Copies of this chain bind each other. A is one copy, B any other.
Amino acid sequence: MTMYYLGVDLGGTNIKAALVDEQGQILQEASRPTNLPRPAEAVCDDIAALCRELTAGRTVGGIGVGCPGTVDDRTGRVLYSNNLAWADFAMGDYLQAATGLPVRLANDANAAALGEALVGCAKGTDSAVILTLGTGVGGGVVLGGRLLTGYTGAASEPGHMVICDTPDAPLCTCGRRGDLEAYASATALIRMTREAMQAHPESGLWKLADPDTVEGRTVFDARDAGDPVAREVVEAYIHWLAVGIANLINIFYPEVVGLSGGVANQGEALLAPLRAQVEPMVFGAAYADKKTRLVSCTLGYRAGVIGAALLAAQ
């Protein structure tokens, strides 16, 4: 008998859910607006309703939920979520009582990383580090098929690894300067693009956007159109991202580093120069018989629900 699992990706805007089989294939999807602000219990009631809707008489082994914020899967508690405005909520117990199913929790970036590691860009490997280059830099580490969650459940925040500890380094929303998120998020790329525009009124960047309408892709488009200012920004961005990735390779030496999020949509235009920068930064690279593969993630926005469901299957 095939066993199915429910994966939930709880976001500040939408609750996405999917019925997933043990191979990570989605059978059916559903979603509802999160409708914040409202009590955690009300959000969980909607999650339970989505789960019942998707189950529809099938045999379901459990529910996995990816949540923004800090969760402790061992206790089933959301310790803190800025996006949801939750603090120390016993989500696992509440959802288990509402559905009668066992519940597993993960940070949302971690759930997505588990999906990519098990059935996406790192399928079949023993170790993967997944970085999401979006508003922030999210991350997840999967070793031997299991998420690295640490003592508190809050492990795997590579975005808050400082790579340039100087007083004038850019400030991160976490309050510190010079961490990977301050250099390699889409937000950071947009900030660097804007700064270059202000400094270079002659730049071709102005043909593609105003400072207010700059997106992550703008500087890549201007670079492709031959603008030297844009080329410098892209090179600086790739350098910082390479420093962060090389640090993670020197720490984990994973089989795969996978990139997701808006900036990663550049594909090989980003990956090829990135690999060239990362490689000489890897300690002992000259003697290694095997190299970490640096690739794009493959599951897109579905990584979260798939990873959450596969967590429930563990």
Contact = CB atoms under 8 A, between A and B. Distances in A.
A206 interface: no
A164 B254 CA distance: 23
B165 A164 contact: yes
A132 to B, nearest CB: 15
Contacts of A148: 143, 252
B243 A70 contact: no
Given A79-B289, A281-B176, A163 B166 contact: no
Contact of A80 (B80, B246, B284): B284
Interface size bracket, A side: 35 or more
Contacts of A151: 125-127, 253-255, 290, 292
Interface stretch (A60-68, A153-161, A224-232, A298-306): A153-161
B157 A250 contact: yes
A287 B160 contact: no
Interface in A274-314: 281, 283-284, 287-290, 292
A87 interface: yes
A102 B52 CA distance: 53
A96 interface: no
A174 B283 contact: yes
A180 to B, nearest CB: 10
A71 to B, nearest CB: 11
Contacts of A255: 151
Given A70-B284, A283-B174, A156 B251 contact: yes
A218 interface: no
A29 to B, nearest CB: 31
A162 B246 contact: yes
A115 B149 CA distance: 23
A287 B69 CA distance: 10
Contacts of A289: 72, 79, 152
Contact of A283 (B154, B248, B250, B253): B154
Interface string A41-81: 00000000000000000000000000000101000000110
A283 to B, nearest CB: 4
Nearest to A286: B80
Contacts of A247: 161-162, 247
A160 B88 CA distance: 37
A177 to B, nearest CB: 11
Contact of A288 (B79, B250, B281, B287): B79
Given A160-B283, A174-B283, 11 more contacts: A70-B287, A125-B151, A126-B151, A143-B148, A150-B254, A157-B251, A157-B284, A161-B247, A162-B243, A163-B163, A163-B164
